[in-house]
Structure 1
């Protein structure tokens, strides 16, 4: 049995129960978040709407996740982690039951907005729960496995929705995700151990706001937050518009075939643990640079007319993105000298700003310059920002 003052270690059964439960919760909410991404071309045709309007089904969800992270992060510090993990899953299920009942895309966007707020409960509370209940020596592994489940969820959501929509209907696909979420909800409710090291934070809200202000005055943290925006903007931009690219000549892929390319996202499952292990030996800065180079190199491969090379490029991009993202997230926690949970929340907020930007703000680029325009933007931004980040850290913050 673990020492509760320090938390559960890898030797404790509860450690693996926590990893399994939070991992399952993560898989479902990230499957829910990214479920509509492969359907954007389908929505454009089905509802006779523009590309920009269809992309709101992603970006509005992301916007509400940002709001949810801020609100639910505060509340989980005051009322505990478990209620927010559990009810996040439950409230994420409900919109999937309602969306098949409407033929209005505006209603779907509204329900996706509500769903995004609910989704935020898991990321707002899960990492804080891990930091409190897992022994420090085992926390790195637990965190890496949790982030890997983020990638697994994104893969399952995209694959399930694309495949079921092509073979059945989008309504049945949403209902299947609701059924999957119900199983996860029961699993988490029955197995996730009660918090033993949670301490109620009785700070006034103005103290939390002051903590945010101090983080925003930290130039190093600001650089990392900006890096999160750029990374996710490029990564989401690639995944949001690759379906449009592949349904056009010379590929003319069906929705079902496009859904299978999202299996490349699964390489993110191994990206986080690999990054954690290599960074301890080689250094974070070097592995971060390698991760960005893999990301942009993979994106560049997609300009090929060879479908095989495009798939390889997507796999490389996924490995590079999750390597860099996991290291940047860990660096934020190490850099913050106080209220680390708030610093992590700010990084997640910047991360999801990048998701919203990559799914909607790049729409004009697609309309005017098609896939080559998307590739140019998503390649140049990470390279330029990485150069700026490394130069600034070397010159001003040695």
Structure 2
């Protein structure tokens, strides 16, 4: 009897240890981060690889610049649709399978796009690829916060966000170089092969979910829970922040090349492309932000990131190129600091449908991408870089002042508690 009781206690103890979330001291913590870093590197490289190739498509398919840009626009449209649908489904069906399906769905279009002579088919394939790309971001943040202890979750999220930055930078630079030396078709086949390797590594490295609790409610209840996020004042402020951060950041990178091509700089596009290396500060800024937040708090570091972003953009008003370069580095550091902690705060705030909440934040983030490009065109045309930079630099600070001016009680998360008490 005594032996039996000891065995039972030992089994219960083992189960408790088994179910304990991972910390930085666990090998599985690093397996999760390595898997998601590799996967997100490929996903974001695939997403932005198309940008340097837009002039190539103009000649290749005999189309206009505006039509060529649809290859990027349709990717973002597919991505937004995927974030909503796949984020919702990941709350019902699990996280890891969507991460792997996302990789698989991103790989196949790279084999098919070089085979078509029709640009319509090309952009349809990009839309499908954009939808597939959404599987990783729709599930990854929720997966991190379910499997990793709260003290380590911000750091893990920061590592994940930094790999996004590195992938986006690498996708732009490497694809452009390979296409210039060989062809864009070779670049796409190379991306497909690289993606296949990442898929194999992720399959073996990424642990299965231990703490995922699938929603077993009727479909209508899941829809209701999803919509509750849009009634939460605190989450709405976070979603708004995602729009503001990305609108400012995208606006800089969309219109700065036009500014640097003109007087007094007269830089070539080849030279301007090296300015994208400032994204490297995002690789440093995200994990640094996660580390700092564990000591002084997420909110303080996020506010610091927003102010840093604004100051960096205002630096670009200077006429000296070295000062502009410094400003871009500060801009990237501030943006990825604020973005990584904002993304992390979503999963910490919600108590249900975490995948849906993370997806809604990313939808707002990519709405910011759209606003930061096309919506700012009238300001550029009428006020040029100085007017645009002042607006983009002040926007995060204005939003911060608006948030701080709202009474604290009005900013509290109410819908999650209301949902849980229904």
TM, length-normalised to structure 1: 0.89
2:365 to 344, 351, 361: 351
Q: 1:118 aligns with which of 125, 129, 132?
A: 132
Partner of 1:200: 214
Aligned partner of 1:32 among 40, 46, 51: 46
What displacement does 1:366 show?
A: 4.3
Instruction: Map 1:1-398 to 2 at 5 A.
Output: 3-40=17-54, 52-248=66-262, 250-366=264-380, 369-393=383-407, 396-397=410-411
8 Å CA contact 2:79, 2:131 repeated in 1: yes
Give the equivalent residue in structure 1 for 2:4: none
Return the offset for 1:96.
2.0
TM-aligned CA deviation for residue 280 of structure 1: 4.0
Which whole-Å CA distance do the structure 1 matches of 2:65 and 2:315 have between them?
Answer: 24
The alignment partner of 1:228 has SS state of: helix
- Structure 1 unaligned spans of 5+: none
Q: In the aligned structure 2, how far is the partner of 1:377 from the partner of 1:183?
A: 43
Contact 2:91 2:354 in 1 (8 A): no
Cα distance in 2, alignment partners of residues 105 and 376 from structure 1:
38
Residues 13 and 239 of structure 1, relative CA distance in 2, 3 Å threshold: same
Name whichever of 49-58 and 80-89 sits farther off.
49-58
Question: Bigger CA drift: 146-155 or 113-122?
Answer: 146-155
Q: Distance in 2 between matches of 1:274 and 1:163?
A: 30
- Per the TM alignment, residue 300 of structure 1 is displaced from its structure 2 partner at its CA by 2.4
| Segment of structure 1 superposing worse, 82-91 or 20-29 | 82-91
**Deviation at residue 25 of structure 1 after TM alignment:** 0.3
TM-score by length of 2: 0.84
* Unaligned 5+ runs, structure 2: 1-13, 413-422
How many angstroms apart in 1 are the aligned matches of 2:117 and 2:78? 22
Q: Report the structure number with the largest CA radius of gyration.
A: 2
The answer as to whether partners of 2:312 and 2:393 remain within 8 angstroms in 1 is no
CA contact (8 A) 1:37 1:239 kept: no
Q: Residues 372 and 137 of structure 1: is their aligned pair in 2 closer, same or farther, counting only changes over 3 Å?
A: closer
Call closer, same or farther: CA 1:194–1:330 in 2, change over 3 Å.
Answer: closer
Distance 1:191 1:321, change over 3 A: same
Q: What's the offset of the Cα at 1:317?
A: 0.5
Instruction: Give 3-state SS (helix, strand or coil) of 2:25's partner.
Output: coil
Q: Distance in 2 between matches of 1:158 and 1:281?
A: 35
Distance 1:157 1:211, change over 3 A: same
In the alignment, the residues of structure 1 paired with residue 194 and residue 75 of structure 2 have an alpha-carbon distance, to the nearest angstrom, of 20
Alignment partners' CA distance in 2, 1:265 and 1:235: 11
1:219 to 1:291, Cα distance in 2 relative to 1, 3 A: same
* Root-mean-square deviation (Å): 2.8
Q: Deviations over 1:181-217 (max 9, x none)?
A: 1221121123222333333321222222212322212
**How far did 1:119 drift?**
0.4
Q: 1:218: Cα distance to partner?
A: 1.8
Q: Distance in 2 between matches of 1:248 and 1:49?
A: 26
Distance 2:322 2:407 in 1: 39
| Contact 2:99/2:140 (8 A) holds in 1 | yes
Deviation of 1:361 (Å)? 2.7
Matched length: 398
